[in-house]
Structure 1
Amino acid sequence: MRVAIAQMTSGSDPSENLRQVEDLTRRAAEAKSALIVFPEATMCAFGNDLSAVVEPLDGPWASGVRDLAIELGIVIVVGMFTPGSEGRVRNTLLAVGPDVDTSYDKVHLFDAFGYRESDSVQPGTRPVTFPVDGVTVGLATCYDIRFPALFSANAKQGARINVVCASWGAGEGKIDQWSLLARARALDSTTFVIACGQADPAASGLDVEGTAPTGIGYSTVISPLGKVLEELGAGPALVFTDIDATETDDARMKLPVLANAQAF
């Protein structure tokens, strides 16, 4: 399976962000990718009024992504914001394409490092997986990467690939943490981990104020045994990686952590 990783910088205008999605997806389809992964908050960058851009899964922004995926015959995973309750939104990953139409609401909210996502975002409650070319893919969003149980739950539902879409917060040691956590979650679940983050706005010459997590780049692809297969830098990029999902079988024979796990 060829997977495209679209490390981009989202702005405040969903229409402009959708134009970026279309351009990158067309390039990925031309390269024969079965799946393209975009960051968390692709629809609108954090630090903006999310309640002003929120829309349902059948709204115009999501429908634009859906129509593009069907036209090009590619599965798109992309971060957006959907309606919640009590004035909050949901931090949603939309996954659409041939025979795929599902979504995942971020379970673990980023109430850390001086930022409180839960003030404006309502958490999800369940893991979500879906098939691409006969391979099951699980979903996770940003702060979720610090919680192994979600990745193991996806694996137990058949996932051979876990996709993590992020808008990782900058700060001392955060790049190292991102890389370490991606490798750890691959080993925990013996799955490929495709971790796609927002590019660092500074790498595009953009100034960002406040504490909102707007991305650091360094998207990565990790093997089921923790090997780094791809690692990007800070700036925007589109890269492709070919994944043989059957490698998870070999990994699980050598490292049967899912079979050996005990409940306490």
Structure 2
Amino acid sequence: MRVAVAQPASTDDVAANLAEIARLSEEAAGLGAEVVLFPEYATYEKKRLDETFARAAQPLDGPVCAELASTARRHGITLVAGVVEASPAPDRPYNTLAAFSPDGTLAAAYRKIHLFDAQGQRESDFISPAPSAEPVTFDAGGVTFGLMTCYDLRFPELAAALAEAGAQVLALGASWVPGELKTQQWRTLSAARAIDNAVFVAGSCQAPPISIGSSLIIDPQGDVLALLGPDPGVVVADLDLARIASTRLEFPVVEQRRIPSSRP
């Protein structure tokens, strides 16, 4: 399967973001990609979270997702993108990754579990956490993808749960906040989650200045198959699923995993 990670520089202009998603999707489809992954907050983004995210929120059957579904259908791709989803709390929407099948139907929606309350920011002041910590997966072309968002990458338990739920590719959408060693951490943690679980990791990250870029695709042994720099763009890689089986034969980490209990 050929997978693309797209790297836009999203802003608070929803129409412009949707146009950029459509443009990069067309480019990815032209490169033969079957699945195209966009980052967290692909349809609405600012340097810091504020009350405008609530005003930008829409339900998953609203106009923003309808446009994403149309783009998926037009290019015959599975499209995954970060949206601001209306929640029961009017002032605190969900940070959601929505996946659309080639026929435009909603294949999955993952609401971010681990909100970014770190580095002096408090995502939880403006965003509601997922009501459930259950792993979310979807199938595309016979391949199972597991959804993760940004700060989730620092919590290996979620990646492990997705692998045990059958995920062969961790589809990671991010807007990784810049800072000292942050690019190194993004690449290291992405490789670690691939190695930890003997799966592929496809990580799409927002471009600078809001984020760090460095969108990537990593194989189950930690080999970087594709990597973008700081500029907006698209990169593709062919995923050889036999690589998962051969890696797990050598390192049967999923089969052998035992989670120690912290309770007496």
Aligned residue number for residue 244 of structure 1:
240
| Residues in 1 aligned to 2:139 and 2:100: alpha-carbon distance in whole angstroms | 11
TM-score of the superposed pair, with normalisation by structure 2: 0.92
- Given candidates 175, 195, 205, the residue that maps to 1:167 is 175
Identity %: 40
The answer as to 2:59 corresponding to 1:53 is: no
- Check if 1:262 corresponds to 2:258: yes
**C-alpha displacement of 1:259:** 0.8
**Cα drift, residue 104 of structure 1:** 0.4
The answer to whether the 8 A contact 2:172-2:201 is kept is yes
SS at match of 1:193: strand
2:186 maps to which residue?
178
Which residue in 1 is equivalent to 2:32? 32
Gaps of 5+ in 2: none
CA distance in 1, matches of 2:215, 2:29: 20
Q: CA deviation at 1:3?
A: 1.0
Residue 91 (structure 1) aligned with residue 95 (structure 2): yes
Query: How far did residue 158 of structure 1 move?
Result: 1.0
* Amino acid in the other structure paired with 1:89: P
Other-structure match for 1:132: 140
**1:223-261 deviation per Cα after TM superposition (whole angstroms, max 9, x unaligned):** 101111222111112111111122111111111111111
Q: Between Structure 1 and Structure 2, how many residues are aligned?
A: 252
* Separation (CA, whole Å) in 2 of partners of 1:107 and 1:260: 26
**Where does residue 118 of structure 2 map in the other structure?**
112
Higher deviation after alignment, 237-246 or 129-138: 237-246
Aligned equivalents of 1:183 and 1:5: distance in 2?
Answer: 16
3-state SS in 2 of match to 1:226? coil
CA contact (8 A) 2:217 2:227 kept: yes
Pairing partner for 1:220 from 200, 216, 219: 216
State whether residues 6 and 233 of structure 2, in contact with CA within 8 Å, keep that contact through their aligned partners in structure 1. Answer: yes
2:259 match: secondary structure? coil
Measure the CA separation in 2 of the matches of 1:98 and 1:20: 19
1:249 and 1:154 mapped to 2: Cα distance? 16
The answer as to 2:21 corresponding to 1:18 is no
Check the 8 A contact 1:84/1:121 in 2, yes or no: no
Q: Please tell me whether the aligned partners of residues 85 and 122 of structure 1 are also in contact (alpha carbons under 8 angstroms).
A: no
SS at match of 1:109: coil
What is the RMSD computed on CA atoms of the aligned residues? 1.2
Distance, in Å, in 1 between the alignment partners of 2:203 and 2:186 is 9
Uncovered stretches (5+) of structure 1, i.e. residues with no partner:
202-213
Matched-pair contact (CA < 8 Å) for 1:8–1:198: yes
Q: In the TM superposition, what whole-angstrom CA distance separates every residue of 1:93-152 from its partner, at most 9, and x where no partner exists?
A: 010013652110000000000000011111112211011110100010000000111111
Letter in 2 for 1:244: D
Give the deviation of 1:30 after TM superposition: 2.0
2:227 aligned with 1:231, yes or no?
yes
TM-score norm. by structure 1 comes to: 0.92
